[in-house]
Structure 1
């Protein structure tokens, strides 16, 4: 078999690396973080197989440093390294292929090495260079025997040793990439923490079970306390009056894996309390399980105090407006008293003003719930009382301040007409209100009268002449952007009003 012969270097000192100087090579070796690969199981397994493949007692994966060579993986030796001055691998790593020394006693480069002349008695050596991604020599995979082998290695053994060297190189490069990735993650985490500490909000994170593992520096600055780990650790920092809602909402969000939002008073470092908006979002894996939580605490104390002030002002304004309505109603009653020709007009006008008052009560901050069902009941209660003459069923919807007034006027006019001519003009009559959604973006209010006198459908030429009819139509179509349809059924008048949801909520 033909053996590959390598260039002979004078003396016992290998030439300087072709890629770079020793200082640059040392930096590249350090970048690998190879200390963690000492006695690495994978590299040791490679040396074990290399020894069996080449039928030798010793195999090594070496790292050649400036003064010493270390064994990252070894088979057949108990030491962890040797001086570089007697390193065969320092020569092998400089080549582009295998370095094979059939008999070291006959090779002038190595004949005087202590490994050759001493008790170990090294005779045969074959090593494959380990080169970094930049091309810098860092060590070798070698096989060693104490018996000279004039025939060297078979071609199959040479190929196998080269393949195993590539595997060792991949393991070493993989460790470097892992280390670099860890360093990059650490750098990003450091940047995140630095950025987090500069933000005005408190930022935190928790694992999927809600165990807190990170708070930015704002927590310490604002609360002056130790960051919580478990949910119960928050209790000293949350006002007693806010405990039930705060922890109840968090427990529900944690159980359902849903976003969390709540407002509560957070204890400050000076012992005071400030209103805080707490928000958290879950991060889920492919199966839908929550793996992390990220949250913020935002100071909203000024906003809350301003809102409280605004509520007080709105309450006072609403009270004064209601007094104005009462004054106008009183003036109308006084001016129409004793004048029979104005009595009906005065009663209608007072009723309309009363409906506006109901709407005002409904939309003011301290009034009832801002939803459609509540407004219907509030406006119609004076006409139907509590004796079952009014039923309201179906889906409700939000009602905004702008829509509440015209809608209240529409309901009042319909009720007034029912008292005069429809179901409410009899003792047994009643009104059924049905609420439902339409195509997801609309709300339908169906008004159905029953038990009253059979309605008489107006002459087509007279339908739009009544003031009440014009008021209803104008309120629905012009102010509420809706539609209205009337049906004079045998059992009583039916009115269908369609309203856009966004207009209703405005």
Structure 2
């Protein structure tokens, strides 16, 4: 086989050879035994395991030669690499490839050579197992000797592969130990308690912070012992959450009270995430416990302060309303104006009551903080004799917060008040349909009056209520307001940005 026909290039072959990490290593009994056996079976005084490096041939094992390497230009084996199944030279003096070789010339020089390739699993020729003799052997090797040399060459490769596998395993173990050491160093330096479990949830690792916080002996909370560290009232809840995560693979997150080394229970946030292999199977769970006791106390203090301030604001609404009522008694001519102002203040008070922070005692029984719930509460005074609201709310609901409550309350209080005085709610048969619609980045509210007095056209004068409605929608909510005075009644459309009703949530999403 010529060099041009080789199935590999020299750079790749050398890279494959060096991947075994065998070059320049100390003699090993397994390889020495092979060359001794090859020499005896083949009746040859010289036998070697020969590896062809860059510019040299190096002998992992040899008998009868006395050296560990020789220059490549005197190598028989370098020529053997070019042969598919190795090479046999009965008389080197008669072979033009070797007749000028200094190892062949003269009395006592090499005459006979027989070698078998050492080939990697990828087909790279690494060297040979060969026998040499100083006498000519026209008959070459016997069939038994040939078979033995083939078998022993395969054994050399088996030893090389075994040796590489052991080396790679040791390197892997060392890398794993180094990686585990780095992980432990990082985990022990974290302020959080860090833990890990097997796929079935068996806890088998805690960092130093866990033992520092709990004060328990190392290993005492392995397995299921960790649950005993929780407050008795939290144990079943924590177990249920953990079992759910193990069954579904969902992230684990829960707040519970964890017993500190001094016996005090402190609020803790527990979190865990699964680690998966390429097949998606969970191989481990890694979790943390974070002491949030101080944060919980701070939040509780803020909530209490917020409730107190909100309660005082509620009282201010009541005081202002009472002052207006007293003033109206002293000035009967302003009674109509006072009633209008009081109604508007009461609408603001209802909006504030709906969205203000509450304690468990003061929490109003009007449902969740949504637009529809708030409007239903606002329109309660406009029910018929059977208790059914005459303002029907339909369409898409929306999350609702205190930043929009005041403007929405003023808008629909004015509409309902005017409808009760002059529009659809001023007659027994009249009603109002309020349709709400989510239109992507817009939220549209349409107020349609039906069954009231017939309208003859657009009013010639805009009252204070209309101006207040426009200020609420366009000034406070950043929307557009349109009125159409149809024969059947007023149709008003408020076109708002979709974020206007819950600006805090929109800000959180943006952040």
Does TM, normalized by the shorter one, top 0.5? yes
Match of 1:405 in 2: 406
* Distance in 2 of aligned mates of 1:227 and 1:482: 62
Q: Does 1:377 align with 2:376?
A: yes
Q: What is the correspondence of 1:439-478 to structure 2 with a 5 Å cutoff? A: 439=440, 441-454=441-454, 457-459=457-459, 462=461, 465-478=462-475
The Cα shift of 1:473 comes to 1.7
Superposed CA deviations along residues 250-309 of structure 1, whole A, max 9, x for unmatched, are: 444444433333322222121111112222334445565544433222111111101111
* Distance in 2 of aligned mates of 1:228 and 1:443: 54
Q: What is the correspondence of 1:114-193 to structure 2 with a 5 Å cutoff? A: 151=140, 165=156, 168-193=159-184
Question: What residue ranges of structure 1 are gaps of 5+ in the alignment?
Answer: 1-24, 63-85, 103-123, 132-139
Q: Does the Cα contact within 8 Å between 1:394 and 1:435 map onto a contact in 2?
A: yes
SS at match of 1:499: strand
Q: Does the Cα contact within 8 Å between 1:315 and 1:365 map onto a contact in 2?
A: yes
* Distance in 2 of aligned mates of 1:398 and 1:90: 91
The Cα shift of 1:161 comes to 6.7
Greater RCO, CA 8 A, separation 6+ = 1
Superposed CA deviations along residues 34-63 of structure 1, whole A, max 9, x for unmatched, are: 9xxx99xxx9xxx9xx99xx999xxx999x
* Distance in 1 of aligned mates of 2:65 and 2:453: 113
Q: Does 1:331 align with 2:323?
A: yes
The Cα shift of 1:198 comes to 0.9
Q: Does 1:266 align with 2:258?
A: yes
The equivalent position to 2:480 in structure 1, one of 480, 483, 502, is 483
Q: Does the Cα contact within 8 Å between 2:42 and 2:141 map onto a contact in 1?
A: no
Q: 1:176 to 1:279 in 2, by over 3 A?
A: same
The equivalent position to 2:352 in structure 1, one of 352, 360, 363, is 360
The Cα shift of 1:479 comes to 1.6
* Distance in 2 of aligned mates of 1:254 and 1:141: 56
Give RMSD over aligned pairs: 4.9
Q: 1:317 to 1:286 in 2, by over 3 A?
A: same
TM-score w.r.t. structure 2 length? 0.64
The Cα shift of 1:404 comes to 2.3
* Distance in 2 of aligned mates of 1:311 and 1:175: 64
Match of 2:92 in 1: none
Count how many residue pairs are aligned between Structure 1 and Structure 2.
Answer: 408
* Distance in 1 of aligned mates of 2:65 and 2:261: 63
Match of 2:52 in 1: none
Q: 1:390 to 1:435 in 2, by over 3 A?
A: same
Point out the more displaced range, 259-268 or 249-258.
Answer: 249-258
The equivalent position to 2:203 in structure 1, one of 190, 193, 212, is 212
The Cα shift of 1:315 comes to 1.4
Match of 1:136 in 2: none
Superposed CA deviations along residues 446-472 of structure 1, whole A, max 9, x for unmatched, are: 43444444456524x64xx32222222
Match of 1:135 in 2: none
The Cα shift of 1:325 comes to 0.6
The Cα shift of 1:249 comes to 4.1
Q: 1:170 to 1:294 in 2, by over 3 A?
A: same
The equivalent position to 1:497 in structure 2, one of 476, 485, 494, is 494
TM-score w.r.t. structure 1 length? 0.65
* Distance in 2 of aligned mates of 1:400 and 1:505: 5
SS at match of 1:503: coil
* Distance in 1 of aligned mates of 2:457 and 2:244: 55
The Cα shift of 1:165 comes to 4.5
Point out the more displaced range, 208-217 or 402-411.
Answer: 208-217
* Distance in 2 of aligned mates of 1:469 and 1:129: 98
Q: 1:410 to 1:266 in 2, by over 3 A?
A: farther
The Cα shift of 1:432 comes to 3.9
Q: 1:380 to 1:388 in 2, by over 3 A?
A: closer
Superposed CA deviations along residues 187-212 of structure 1, whole A, max 9, x for unmatched, are: 11211111101100112233444443
The Cα shift of 1:149 comes to 12
The Cα shift of 1:174 comes to 3.8
Q: Does the Cα contact within 8 Å between 2:272 and 2:287 map onto a contact in 1?
A: yes
Q: Does the Cα contact within 8 Å between 1:93 and 1:129 map onto a contact in 2?
A: no
